[in-house]
Amino acid sequence: MNVFNSSQSWVDEFSDPIRPLGMVPTMGALHQGHMTLIERALKENNTVLVTIFINPTQFNDKTDLERYPQDLDADIKKIEQFRGNIFVYTPAVEDVYGNNITAKSFNLGGLDEPMEGVKRKNHFHGVATVVSYFLEIFQPNRAYFGEKDFQQLRVIEQLSKALALNTKIIGCPIIREPDGLAMSSRNQLLGVEDRKKAPMIFQLLQLLKAQSALLSYRALREIVHDFFKKNDSLKLDYFVICDPKTLQEIDFKQSPGTGRAFIAVYLGKIRLIDNLDMS
Ligand code: PAF
């Protein structure tokens, strides 16, 4: 394993890896979801590059950025367990942004606008800024992203198309804890009581899926609103069912069909997102 923190050293020393090169971009605090991405990337490529970088421009909330979990030593130890040709890029903010820490503007085809786009202004332009930097510098053959951030996955596919990049963007299924909670670096910020309640988010999505052949989207929304009335220690931020390609909300009168349900929930100050294919 080779850990480096300057993109110049990649250009000078390693830029000719044995291709194909698979990239797994992360913000660290690695969990089993990330490990699964790395494992898949190792299976499908000769060389894997993991990036660990907490990207400031994708945080619209300063407190969220400040409390984002980080433990680089633990992350490196986890990656060391893999066999294979692995590079780990752990840049400082200056290596990515110089002294201009701002998000660029991209054509994200409107995919950035609903859901997280409404709640986290400019978030996806921040994500696109750092991901396009990584894709352009390292030119991986494949890049791997988890479906927990399903909207992000769609946005990055669009970004890659808009910039005519040659990287294949690969979406990978959500990895869940045994109790159903979608794995996320933010889960470790939950207090003990909130952690016990967090699996209710996936339980609700499963209940909706079980009803989705029989009920309209409008009726499913009512179930969701009743659920949050009864469980007021969880606060609903949004719930929508969208077409998985366009991310446009489906008609209230329709049943979900091949739609995908998306939810964001606050447990105390911690905001968790999840999603589930309704078909
Ligand atoms: O999903 C993440 O961890 C981040 O949004 C990403 C893709 C690494 C960009 O900072």
Average pLDDT over residues 64-84: 97
Domain positions in the chain are 2-172, 185-272
On the CB side of 80, CA atoms within 13 Å amount to 7
Close Cβ partners of 82 (under 8 Å, ≥ 6 residues apart): 1, 38, 39, 42
Instruction: Tell me the two tokens of residue 76.
Output: 């490196």
| Domain 2-172 CATH class label | alpha beta
Sign of CA dihedral 115, 110, 101, 167: positive
Kind plus residue range of the DSSP H or E element containing 273: strand 270-277
- Index of the ligand 1 atom closest to the CA of residue 185: 3
On the CB side of 266, CA atoms within 13 Å amount to 9
pLDDT digits (tens, 9 = 90+) for 76-133: 999 999 999 999 999 999 999 999 999 999 999 999 999 999 999 999 999 999 999 9
Distance 192 CA to ligand 1 centre (A): 26
pLDDT at 168: 98
Phi and psi at residue 266, in whole multiples of 5°?
Answer: -95, 130
Question: Which among 34, 123, 125, 225 is annotated as catalytic?
Answer: 34
Cross-strand bridge partners of residue 97: none
- Index of the ligand 1 atom closest to the CA of residue 25: 8
Residue ID of nearest Cα to ligand 1 atom 9: 127
92 contacts 5 by C-beta, under 8 angstroms: yes
Query: Residue 102 in 3-state DSSP?
Result: coil
Cross-strand bridge partners of residue 236: 265
Distance 238 CA to ligand 1 centre (A): 21
Residue ID of nearest Cα to ligand 1 atom 2: 26
Same CATH fold assignment for domains 2-172 and 185-272:
no
185-272: CATH topology: Pantoate--beta-alanine Ligase; Chain: A,domain 2 (3.30.1300)
Close Cβ partners of 243 (under 8 Å, ≥ 6 residues apart): 250, 258, 259, 260
pTM for this entry: 0.97
At 175, which amino acid appears?
I
Mean pLDDT of the chain: 97
Average pLDDT over residues 159-168: 96
Distance 241 CA to ligand 1 centre (A): 23
